[in-house]
Chains A and B, each alone.
Chain A
Amino acid sequence: DTGVSQDPRHKITKRGQNVTFRCDPISEHNRLYWYRQTLGQGPEFLTYFQNEAQLEKSRLLSDRFSAERPKGSFSTLEIQRTEQGDSAMYLCASSPRQGTNTEAFFGQGTRLTVV
């Protein structure tokens, strides 16, 4: 499968623990996006990368959240000191070039449950 891959698919963690998610975009896609989706809502933008540069972060992304894309390929999203409100589906998407006349391809997401 050459689509966007996310790992793990599910993560259950205790409140206060740190978690890290990985996203492998479609090969050669320059842009990589992270979104968060809670039940009954559409995905909300968190941050995006153009190659290895993080170009924008949403105000939703508190200081406990950090994202990296060190070599312009895969990306990681880390949440430190998790809270119950962090429970959500975390989606990764990639697109082939900069600009807006392009579509984003989504992974299947990582479902985080904080207990």
Chain B
Amino acid sequence: AQSVSQHNHHVILSEAASLELGCNYSYGGTVNLFWYVQYPGQHLQLLLKYFSGDPLVKGIKGFEAEFIKSKFSFNLRKPSVQWSDTAEYFCAVIPRREGGKLIFGQGTELSVKP
């Protein structure tokens, strides 16, 4: 079955630390890739997306992600986190032949200590 795996359920960092959240998917065909963020009490918001082209994509708030096709991975990075980055992060894919529905990972809760 198609699936998306996020490596860490809960990550705790101090401010200014670097962040990398892992995401792997299992789907053999072409996919579109997304990272969504959910701040406490708010709705899911798009951080960044990859459809094609440069595998290193930049998103909002200093986040970036790298698509490595050979590893079926789309890891999220940020060089220096802030307390305001405390949120839940979801990796998601749309297999190109699947009509647009998102398949989400289980999420990673990020807690940033001030």
Contacts and interface: CB of A to CB of B under 8 A. Distances in A.
Interface of A: 3-4, 31, 33, 35, 40-45, 48, 55-56, 91, 93, 95, 98-109
Chain A contact residues, majority secondary structure: loop
Contacts of B114: none
A105 B46 CA distance: 8
Contacts of B104: 35, 42-44
Given A41-B107, A106-B36, A106-B43, 18 more contacts: A3-B43, A35-B102, A35-B104, A40-B106, A42-B4, A44-B104, A45-B101, A45-B103, A48-B99, A93-B102, A99-B100, A100-B32, A100-B96, A100-B99, A100-B100, A107-B43, A108-B42, A109-B43
A48 B100 contact: yes
Nearest to A31: B100
Most buried by B among A31, A33, A99, A104: A104
Contacts of A33: 100-102
B106 A95 contact: no
A41 B42 contact: no
A2 to B, nearest CB: 14
